[in-house]
């Protein structure tokens, strides 16, 4: 079953198929889309299978070609945003949680940059997270306390010599 083909581009085939093998047909009985495209950058053709019939063949190929960037984005989210569990199952709740985490990360990065802190973003997030209910100025929370040696040097003492 051929689908509409773009007149220009590198799409060689775009068909609706069903798996007919004994194991494949039982594992996935629905129809599926088979797209063959030539990728000039790699100088070869690739076959893509998808159950998405709404996007164009070019869009499907683009998504597959750029899936590594998507993988890197989700890896970055897991490493930097600390989203360990989702609070809801709907697409909207997941989006809201990711957007809130990205906004939080950006605000903390701006604070770190503007205040010229000597702490990394993770330390700042940890301090802010544990100080949510503390009524203290943010600068006092994030400025490291001076070390005892620095305190001693701030107040010169009188040296007395006894014979």
Confidence tier at 80 by pLDDT (50, 70, 90):
confident
* DSSP, residue by residue, 90-126: SHHHHHHHHHHHHHHHHHHHHHHHHTT-SS-HHHHHH
Give the model's pLDDT for residue 54. Answer: 94
Confidence tier at 24 by pLDDT (50, 70, 90):
confident
Give the separation between CA 98 and CA 61, rounded to whole angstroms.
Answer: 26
Give the model's pLDDT for residue 8. Answer: 47
- φ/ψ of 44, rounded to 5, equals -160, 165
Confidence tier at 154 by pLDDT (50, 70, 90):
low
Give the separation between CA 153 and CA 15, rounded to whole angstroms.
Answer: 79
Asked whether residue 111 carries a pLDDT value surpassing 80, the answer given is: yes
């Amino acid at each position: 079953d051929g689908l509409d083909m773009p007149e220009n581009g590198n799409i060689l085939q775009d068909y609706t198929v069903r798996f007919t093998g004994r194991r494949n047909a039982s594992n996935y009985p629905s129809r599926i889309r088979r797209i063959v495209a030539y990728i000039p950058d790699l100088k070869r053709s690739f076959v893509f299978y998808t159950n998405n019939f709404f996007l164009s063949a070019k869009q499907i190929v683009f998504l597959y070609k750029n899936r590594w960037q998507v993988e890197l984005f989700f890896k970055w989210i897991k490493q930097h945003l600390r989203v360990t569990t989702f609070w809801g199952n709907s697409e909207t709740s997941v989006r809201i949680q990711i957007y809130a985490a990205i906004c939080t990360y950006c605000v903390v990065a701006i604070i770190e940059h503007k205040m010229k802190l000597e702490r990394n973003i993770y330390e700042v997030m940890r301090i802010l997270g544990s100080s949510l209910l503390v009524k203290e100025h943010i600068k006092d929370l994030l400025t490291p306390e001076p070390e005892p040696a620095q305190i001693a040097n701030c107040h010169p003492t009188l040296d007395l010599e006894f014979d």
